[in-house]
């Protein structure tokens, strides 16, 4: 067992884990943060995407011990003080989710896009979602929601 | 997944020491290739040694002739690097098209090269951009680095420390990606140098290779139509999968080479 | 957004694009899926699966696994047999032409003697942790004697093929037919031309993003069982698991389907793992949880499609269809999954009229066993196969007759004034307006501008094509008596309970299950409208057999038309009772009470009582007609549909093809559909988008491929082409409504139409783009290599 110390959704966490524990297992099984999902075993589907030190990563393809010292944000930590993140709100308003299973990973991925590439157009947005599968929405409303969130955030910062 | 000892050394020397002491030691970069292997029980190391936090393996520097990228530099960092974009635009674009954004945030150039997936993107750049792979003990020239399917010239206890790419006059990477995996079915890096053109090809065969015939033609005239209809790559040694047969890959090689040339010319 | 209304006001609920109320939990990570549930002291199951497509099990040794750390138990097929556990049942009996029953092989929960597909379950290893169970599985030693395998549908019917089941001669499960063979023969004879086609409907893997999972919990204190499972139909699972497999009566078995991450058909069926965890929980005295890894999903979730159809269409000189003959070979896989036999027969052959007035149709279906994962309904189920055949065939007829593709369709459409229309293949379409959806689609795609777009593409070195599909489907499954005659072993009605609480809020219990469809929103809109109460005061409850009286679940685009109708019937009973109470309170005769969205009025006066007042009176019956009316305000209803519903429409696809690489890019996708009356347009559009992507996925990217030894070559996302965001443009969808005539809502159904109508439009567009090169046929999925090869071989022959 190895002790890992990290920040998850702004809360300090210090916990013993087996080295083989994946970050997603730490989040789901040890911290009961079940909003992060597992949809595949080959690192393709993106249901497990969280932020580590501000960048989106697949938590199924990272060991918990690799997150030692890191700052992790999951879908549960995205809303602030009960107020939804604009991306969460955009997904709701645009019906960008159906079964909801891919949604947490999709939102976390989209948040990095608008934060790091605020001018991303439809094409770039679609390309950005290479690592996020959705089987319900046909991606149509997801792309709409992301573009609308991008515009809203631009307006806010203007 | 079998359990293992985990190490996070802060120097290359420490990493090497741990690696040598371990019964089945394995270096871990960003883990984007190796963790999926581990999860499917296709490898059972006794020790995993994470090298992505070693300061001496990080960073991007350049002089007039070379761009040198630390082994633990992520694909996203390469793609974002102003240095790389200014000097070797084709390399920055290649890095920006590896896997998906999450793979690019974690995956490292050293990890990718050591894993030597035959369909990874970087091998085309190693060959096309006349790179030198630097390790804890030596420099390995591009043409002798890849030795076969998932095989390289690295010794079992050798660590890649950095990769130096030779700055070309112009370069571009054209990739025909697998629809399913997003790995390269055929990926072509074309780079023009004063001394001639290099064409590095990944995805098509069991290991990356150079296409000499195209290099000769492009060295005479750097234009897409220098790759004439009659110029073909033999399919005998190419890979066949349900998604793309060897014949189809052979067909794509000149097609993607032309596209890379066009892109290089377009800047 | 939330709607704020005051009681008694008319609500804007029906027809309003209200953002979904279920979203909040999903966008904040508070959804509760099966794998999120942790029961105290739960153990973890890992299923050891066959690596071979066909093999005898000589022996299994579990000793080493049992001794491994953390292992609680290891069970094999012998333990299952010793406990006299029943097999996984099939829910539909199809009879062959000669009247004999289909071959219905046993389907044990764990296989003891002979495995029949890669992924067949051989043993279950139960341990304190998932990792320990998985590690111990590697220590189970199975000695296999590998047998020759039947890997594909084509292999199954080849002379000298290996035998999957000894009792199924020639691997045939059944050989069935429908229609008037003699009439079709006569039509062929009198035809000006007979158009021939053979099409394969590629085998696809559903791949809902949530892998299947199940938790079994035997509670010794009450001698009862709970199963949490990723199901589209918890009551159906209770019936199949309880009555057929484990012999547990309904009142001792609770099945909960909590949040479910997509189904698309694959979570309808009763799977072995559900039975295993329940059975094993009793054996070890702890809850047992199993969660599929994605690689297991590929080899254990029922696959979809996999048919080869040959057809002959007799036409006259003007292009009128005279007769159609179809010969279909359908792959059942190694076992019969829950609804499998019904798919190529009652859900496919019956749709062979399409939206055309073809007077004579005859369909033969031969179902065969192979050493592959069982095949069952996948979004569309049988209807996409028919639509694909017909729409490819109609395009081919137009080509061979030198007619316009739209003209031949219009010429053969069942006209608006012909409804109700009885087809020669057993169905009666109630309504439709095929001309209008075609027109709408042409406008949306700007058909006039196509030739200019084609030229522009050409300038960029691309081949552009446009393809059409005018389809009809049957959903709203299904009239029980009818499907009973056709071999269904269950009724396909739906149930609902509406409970008006004393303060006027409403709980609605539905037997359908929402796993993305948005029932919690749509049904609340429906009830708010019907009962005249605020939307926010209506709660929808689903997915738990202990809470919901009964139900058949969600599939076949049935939830609104059948499940919603059951709710409306229950609301009607509430209103009927409310009238009696109102008559008493208002001192009027019941006949003089008029119901108007939320209020009971005395006709011709301004005296009235709101539904809230009536509810209060019903629960506080101080001044109450207690002699004739019971207190309380709760009603249940079952609704059995009188007919299927028949959504229809026109899908138009435009593709651009890169002739150098063969890559096909969908650049326009238009869907104009008649899905009946719409409650929430935003949700309906979302269903369309999703269906279209699954349709395009089948047409261009997705295929389950087996090698000759029966190994699945496309067994992970590394080699199975899942549609991604970058594959698509924004879609253009629209609706033209003709209301269903036989349910109280007028709804038809929207869940499947995208996946049904779209694939032929895509392939027809590809063939249109390639026509100038002389390419006349191509098969799904239209991969770049196939396009390249088609171009090369056309070059060689032209």
Q: Over C154-170, what HEC string results?
A: HHHCCCCCCCCCCCCHH
The nearest alpha carbon in chain C to A28 belongs to C36
How far apart CA A137 and CA A134 sit, in angstroms, is: 7
Question: Is 0.95 topped by the overall pTM?
Answer: yes
**Cross-chain CB nearest to C719 (options B176, B181, B252):** B181
> For residue C674, how many C-alpha atoms fall within 13 Å in the half-sphere facing its CB?
30
Note whether C368 and C331 are within 8 A (CB): yes
Give the pLDDT confidence of C420-438 residue by residue, as tens digits: 999 999 999 999 999 999 9
- Nearest CA distance, C134 vs chain B (angstrom): 8
Q: State residue C12's pLDDT score.
A: 56
Q: B206 CA to chain A: closest CA distance, Å?
A: 21
| Other Cβ atoms within 10 Å of C181 Cβ, number | 15
Determine the distance in angstroms separating the CA of C39 from the nearest CA of chain A, rounded to an integer: 12
Report the alpha-carbon distance of residue C497 to residue C527 in Å, rounded.
Answer: 12
Report residue C797's pLDDT band, with 50, 70 and 90 as the boundaries.
Answer: confident
Q: Is beta strand C141-146 parallel, antiparallel or unpaired with respect to C71-76?
A: unpaired
Q: How far is Cα C780 from Cα C698, in angstroms, rounded to an integer?
A: 7
Nearby residues of C179 by Cβ (< 8 Å), 6 or more positions away: C349, C352, C360, C361, C362, C363, C424, C425
Q: Report residue B94 CA to chain centroid gap.
A: 9
- Neighbouring C-alpha atoms within 13 Å toward the C-beta of B240: 6
Residues of A in contact with B5 (CB under 8 A): 19
For residue C36, the chain A residues in CB contact (below 8 A) are 28, 34
Mean pLDDT of C556-563: 95
- Minimum-distance CB partner of C20 among A95, A138, A139: A95
Which chain C residues contact residue A88 at CB under 8 A?
A: 27-28
Nearest neighbour of A97 by CB, restricted to C27, C691, C694: C27
Give the number of other Cβ atoms within 10 Å of residue C146's Cβ.
Answer: 13
Query: Could B105 and A44 be called an inter-chain contact, meaning their C-beta atoms sit closer than 8 Å?
Result: no
Report the DSSP pairing between strands C213-219 and C288-291: antiparallel
Q: Tell me the chain A residues in contact with residue C294 when contact means C-beta distances shorter than 8 Å.
A: 39-42, 45
- B41 to chain C: nearest residue by CA? C135
Min CA distance, C2 vs chain B (Å)?
35
* Closest residue of chain C to A100, computed from CA coordinates: C26
Distance in angstroms (rounded) separating the CA atoms of residues C154 and C779: 15
Mean pLDDT of C212-227: 97
Specify the 3-state DSSP secondary structure of B90.
Answer: helix
Q: Which of residues 14-33 of C touch B (CB under 8 A)?
A: none
**Residue A87: closest CA among chain C residues belongs to which residue?**
C27
Going by the DSSP 8-state scheme, the letter that residue C667 receives in this structure is E
pLDDT tens-digit profile, chain B (267 residues): 888 999 999 999 999 999 999 999 999 999 999 999 999 889 999 999 999 999 999 999 998 899 999 999 999 999 999 999 999 999 999 999 999 999 999 999 999 999 999 999 999 999 999 999 999 999 999 999 999 999 999 999 999 999 999 999 999 999 999 999 999 999 999 999 999 999 999 999 999 999 999 999 999 999 999 999 999 999 999 999 999 999 999 999 999 999 999 999 998
Average pLDDT over residues A37-66: 97
Backbone angles phi and psi of C90, in degrees to 5: -100, 140
Neighbours of chain C (3+ CB pairs under 8 A): A, B
Compute chain A's Rg from CA coordinates: 15
Mean pLDDT along residues C117-137: 97
Contact indicator for B138, B157 with CB cutoff of 8 Å: no
The minimal CB distance from A112 to the residues B39, B101, B181 is found for: B101
Of C20, C515, C725, the CB nearest to A129: C725
C8 band by pLDDT with thresholds 50, 70 and 90: very low
B243 membership: H or E segment, kind and range: none
Chain A residues with CB-CB distance to C2 below 8 A: none
Gap between the Cα atoms of C316 and C323, Å rounded:
10
Rounded alpha-carbon distances, angstroms, from residue C518 to C20, C559, C564, C682, C750: 7, 10, 13, 10, 12
Which neighbouring-strand residues pair with C369?
C333
Rounded to a whole number of angstroms, the CA Rg of chain B reads: 18
Task: Report whether C432 contacts C355 (CB < 8 A).
Answer: yes
* Bond preceding residue C478 cis, omega within 30 of 0: yes
Q: In this predicted structure, what is the pLDDT of residue C13? A: 80
Distance from CA of C716 to the nearest CA of B (A): 9
CB contact under 8 A, B248 and C719: no
- Cβ contacts of A19 on chain B, cutoff 8 Å: 3-6, 48
Rounded CA gap, C759 and C757, in Å? 6
CA distances from B53 to A63, B22, B68, C198 (A): 14, 20, 18, 59
- Rounded Cα distance between A30 and A41, Å, is 20
Residue C576: per-residue pLDDT: 97
Name every chain C residue with its beta carbon within 8 A of the beta carbon of A75: 27-29
Cα–Cα distances (Å) from C314 to C318, C356, C395, in that order, read 12, 13, 14
Strand partners, A22: A63
Min CA distance, C405 vs chain B (Å)?
Answer: 32
Dihedral class, residue A87 (left if φ above 0, else alpha if ψ from -120 to 50, else beta) = alpha
Q: Across the interface, which of C31, C260, C725 has its CB nearest the CB of A143?
A: C725
Q: What is the pLDDT of residue C419?
A: 97
Cβ of residue C722 closer than 8 Å to a chain B Cβ:
yes
Instruction: Tell me the residues of B at the C interface, defined by beta carbons under 8 Å apart.
Output: 1-2, 40-41, 176, 178-181, 183, 241-245, 248, 251-252, 255
* B3 CA: distance to closest CA in chain C (Å): 10
Q: Between the CA of residue A44 and those of A100, B242, C484, what are the distances in Å? A: 17, 19, 43
- Tell me the residues of chain A between 9 and 68 that have a Cβ less than 8 Å away from chain B: 18-20, 22, 41-44, 46, 49, 55-58, 60-63, 65-66, 68
Instruction: Please say if the pLDDT value at position C234 is more than 90.
Output: yes
Average pLDDT over residues C37-64: 98
Average pLDDT value for residue range C693-711: 98
- Cβ-in-10-Å burial (0-12, 13-18, 19+) of A79 comes to middle
Q: Computed from CA positions of residues C12, C15, C17, C21, in that sequence, does the dihedral angle turn out positive or negative?
A: positive
> What pLDDT is attached to residue A153?
87
Residue C6 pLDDT class (50, 70, 90 cuts): very low
Residue A30 and residue A64: Cα distance in Å, rounded?
Answer: 11
Residues of C in contact with B40 (CB under 8 A): 295
C586: nearest Cα among C623, C636, C534: C623
B41, B179, B251: residue with CB nearest C701: B179
* Partners of C194 in the β-ladder: C314
Mutate to test the interface with C, among B187, B242, B250 (most CBs of C within 10 A): B242
- pLDDT tens for A94-113 read 999 999 999 999 999 999 99
What is the pLDDT, as a whole number, of residue C612?
A: 95
Contact flag A19-B5 (C-beta cutoff 8 Å): yes
Q: Output the pLDDT for position C502.
A: 96
Instruction: Identify the residue among A47, A80, A138, A144 best suited for mutation to test binding to C, counting C beta carbons within 10 A and taking the highest.
Output: A138
Find the closest chain C residue to A80 by CA distance. C28
For the cut 50, the answer to whether the pLDDT of residue C5 exceeds it is no
* Mean pLDDT (whole number) for C611-622: 97
The verdict on A130 touching B (C-beta cutoff 8 Å) is yes
Where residue C1 falls among pLDDT bands split at 50, 70, 90? very low
DSSP string, C27-95: HTT---BGGG---TT-EEEEEEE-SSSSEEEEEEE-HHHHTSTTEEEEEEHHHHHHTTPPPPPPSB--B
Q: Which two tokens stand for residue C723?
A: 């549609």
Q: Supply angle C-alpha C85, C90, C93, rounded to 5.
A: 135
| pLDDT of C11 above 80 | no
Rounded to an integer, what distance in angstroms lies between the CA atom of residue B246 and that of residue B226?
23
């Amino acid at each position: 067992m190895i002790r890992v110390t990290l920040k998850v959704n702004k809360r300090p966490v210090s916990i013993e884990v087996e080295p083989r524990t994946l970050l997603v297992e730490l989040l789901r099984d040890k911290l009961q943060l079940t909003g992060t999902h597992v949809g595949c075993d080959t690192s393709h589907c993106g249901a497990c995407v969280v932020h580590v030190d501000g960048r989106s990563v697949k938590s199924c393809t990272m060991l918990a011990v690799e997150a030692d010292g890191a700052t992790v944000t999951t879908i549960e930590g995205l809303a602030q003080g009960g107020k939804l993140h604009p991306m969460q709100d955009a997904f709701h308003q645009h019906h960008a989710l159906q079964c909801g299973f891919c949604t947490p990973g999709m939102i976390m991925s989209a948040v990095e896009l608008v934060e790091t590439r605020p001018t991303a157009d439809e094409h770039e947005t679609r390309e950005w979602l290479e690592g996020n599968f959705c089987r319900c929405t046909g991606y149509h409303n997801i792309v709409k929601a992301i573009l609308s969130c991008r515009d809203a955030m631009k307006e806010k910062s203007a | 997944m079998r359990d293992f000892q985990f190490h996070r050394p802060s120097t290359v020397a420490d990493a090497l020491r741990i690696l040598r002491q371990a019964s089945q030691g394995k270096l871990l970069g960003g883990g984007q290739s190796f963790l999926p292997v581990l999860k499917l029980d296709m490898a059972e190391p006794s020790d995993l040694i994470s090298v992505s936090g070693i300061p001496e393996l990080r960073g991007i520097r350049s002089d007039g002739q070379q761009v040198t990228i630390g082994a633990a530099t992520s694909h996203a960092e390469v793609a974002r690097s102003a240095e790389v974009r200014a000097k070797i635009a084709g390399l920055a674009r290649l890095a920006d098209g590896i896997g998906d954004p999450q793979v690019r945030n974690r995956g490292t150039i050293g990890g990718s090269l050591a894993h030597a997936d035959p369909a990874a993107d970087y091998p085309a750049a190693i060959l096309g951009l006349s790179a030198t792979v630097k390790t804890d003990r030596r420099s390995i020239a591009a043409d002798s680095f890849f030795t076969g399917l998932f095989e390289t010239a690295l010794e079992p206890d050798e660590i890649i420390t950095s990769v130096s790419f030779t700055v070309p006059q112009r370069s571009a990477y054209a990739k025909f990606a697998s629809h399913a995996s997003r790995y390269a079915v055929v990926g072509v890096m074309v780079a023009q140098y004063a001394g001639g053109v290099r064409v590095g090809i990944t995805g098509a065969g069991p290991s990356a290779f150079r296409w000499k015939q195209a290099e000769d033609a492009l060295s005479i005239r750097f234009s897409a139509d220098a790759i004439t209809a009659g110029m073909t790559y033999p399919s005998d040694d190419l890979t066949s999968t349900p998604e793309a047969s060897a014949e189809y890959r052979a067909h794509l090689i000149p097609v993607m080479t032309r596209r890379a040339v066009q892109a290089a010319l377009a800047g | 957004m939330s709607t704020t209304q005051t009681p008694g006001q008319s609500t804007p609920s029906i027809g309003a694009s209200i953002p979904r109320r279920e979203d909040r939990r999903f966008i904040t990570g508070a959804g509760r899926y099966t794998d999120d549930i942790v029961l105290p002291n739960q153990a973890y199951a890992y299923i050891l699966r066959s690596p071979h497509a066909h093999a005898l099990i000589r022996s299994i040794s579990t000793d080493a696994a049992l001794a491994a750390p953390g292992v609680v138990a290891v069970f094999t097929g012998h333990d299952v047999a010793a406990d006299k556990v029943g097999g996984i049942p099939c829910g539909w009996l199809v009879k062959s032409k000669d009247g004999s029953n289909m071959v219905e092989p046993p389907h044990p929960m764990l296989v003891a003697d002979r495995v029949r597909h890669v992924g067949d379950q051989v043993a279950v290893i139960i341990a304190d942790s998932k990792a320990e169970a998985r590690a111990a599985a590697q220590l189970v030693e199975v000695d296999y004697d590998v047998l020759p395998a039947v890997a594909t549908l084509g292999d199954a019917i080849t002379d000298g093929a290996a035998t999957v089941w000894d009792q199924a001669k020639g691997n045939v499960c059944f050989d069935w037919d429908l229609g008037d063979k003699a009439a079709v023969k006569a039509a062929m004879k009198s035809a000006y031309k007979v158009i021939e086609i053979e099409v394969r409907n590629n085998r696809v893997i559903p791949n809902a993003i949530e892998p299947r999972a199940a938790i079994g919990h035997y509670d010794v204190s009450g001698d009862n069982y709970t199963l949490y499972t990723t199901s589209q139909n918890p009551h159906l699972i209770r019936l199949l698991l309880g009555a057929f497999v484990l012999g547990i009566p309904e009142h001792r078995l609770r099945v909960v389907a909590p949040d479910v991450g997509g189904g698309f058909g694959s979570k309808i069926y009763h799977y072995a793992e559900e039975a295993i965890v329940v059975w094993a929980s009793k054996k070890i005295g702890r809850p047992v949880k199993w969660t599929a890894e994605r690689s297991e999903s590929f080899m254990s979730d029922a696959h979809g499609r996999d048919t080869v159809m040959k057809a002959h269409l007799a036409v006259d000189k003007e292009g009128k269809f005279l007769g159609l003959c179809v010969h279909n070979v359908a792959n059942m896989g190694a076992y019969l999954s829950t609804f499998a036999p019904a798919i190529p027969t009652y859900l496919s052959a019956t749709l062979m009229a399409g939206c055309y007035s073809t007077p004579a149709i005859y369909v033969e279906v031969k179902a065969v066993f192979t050493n592959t994962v069982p095949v069952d309904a996948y979004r569309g189920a049988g209807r996409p196969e028919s639509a694909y055949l017909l729409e490819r065939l109609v395009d081919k007829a137009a080509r061979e007759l030198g007619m316009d593709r739209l003209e031949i369709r219009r010429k053969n459409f069942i006209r608006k004034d012909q409804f109700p229309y009885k087809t020669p293949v057993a169905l009666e379409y109630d309504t439709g307006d095929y001309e209008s959806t075609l027109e709408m689609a042409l406008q949306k795609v700007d058909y006039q501008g196509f030739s200019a777009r084609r030229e522009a593409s050409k300038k960029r070195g691309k081949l552009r094509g446009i393809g059409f599909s005018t389809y009809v489907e049957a959903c709203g499954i299904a009239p029980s008596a009818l499907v009973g005659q056709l071999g269904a072993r269950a009724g396909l009605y739906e149930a609902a309970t509406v409970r008006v609480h004393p303060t006027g809020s409403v709980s609605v219990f539905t037997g359908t299950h929402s796993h993305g469809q948005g029932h919690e929103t749509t049904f609340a809109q429906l009830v708010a409208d019907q009962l005249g109460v605020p939307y926010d005061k209506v709660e929808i409850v689903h997915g738990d057999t202990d809470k919901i009286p009964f139900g058949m679940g969600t599939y076949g685009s049935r939830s609104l038309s059948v499940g919603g109708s059951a709710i409306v019937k229950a609301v009607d009973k509430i209103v009927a009772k409310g009238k009696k109470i109102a008559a008493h309170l208002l001192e009027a005769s019941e006949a003089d009470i008029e119901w108007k969205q939320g209020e009971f009025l005395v006709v011709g006066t301004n005296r009235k009582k709101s539904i809230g007042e009536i509810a209060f009176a019903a629960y506080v019956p101080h001044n109450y007609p207690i002699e004739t009316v019971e207190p309380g305000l709760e009603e249940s209803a079952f609704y059995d549909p009188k007919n299927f519903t028949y959504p229809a429409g026109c899908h138009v696809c435009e593709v651009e093809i890169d002739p150098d690489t063969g890559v096909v890019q969908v650049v326009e996708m238009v869907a104009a559909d008649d899905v009946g009356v719409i409650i929430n347009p935003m949700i309906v559009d979302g269903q369309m988008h999703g269906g279209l992507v699954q349709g395009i996925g089948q047409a261009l990217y997705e295929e389950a491929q087996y090698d000759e030894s029966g190994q699945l070559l496309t067994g992970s996302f590394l080699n199975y082409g899942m549609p991604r965001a970058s594959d698509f443009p924004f879609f253009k969808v629209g609706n033209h409504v003709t209301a269903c005539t036989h349910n109280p809502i007028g709804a038809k159904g929207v869940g499947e139409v995208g996946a049904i109508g779209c694939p032929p439009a895509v392939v027809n567009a590809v063939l249109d783009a390639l026509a100038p090169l002389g390419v006349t046929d191509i098969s799904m999925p239209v991969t770049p290599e196939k396009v390249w090869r088609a171009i090369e071989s056309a070059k060689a022959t032209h």
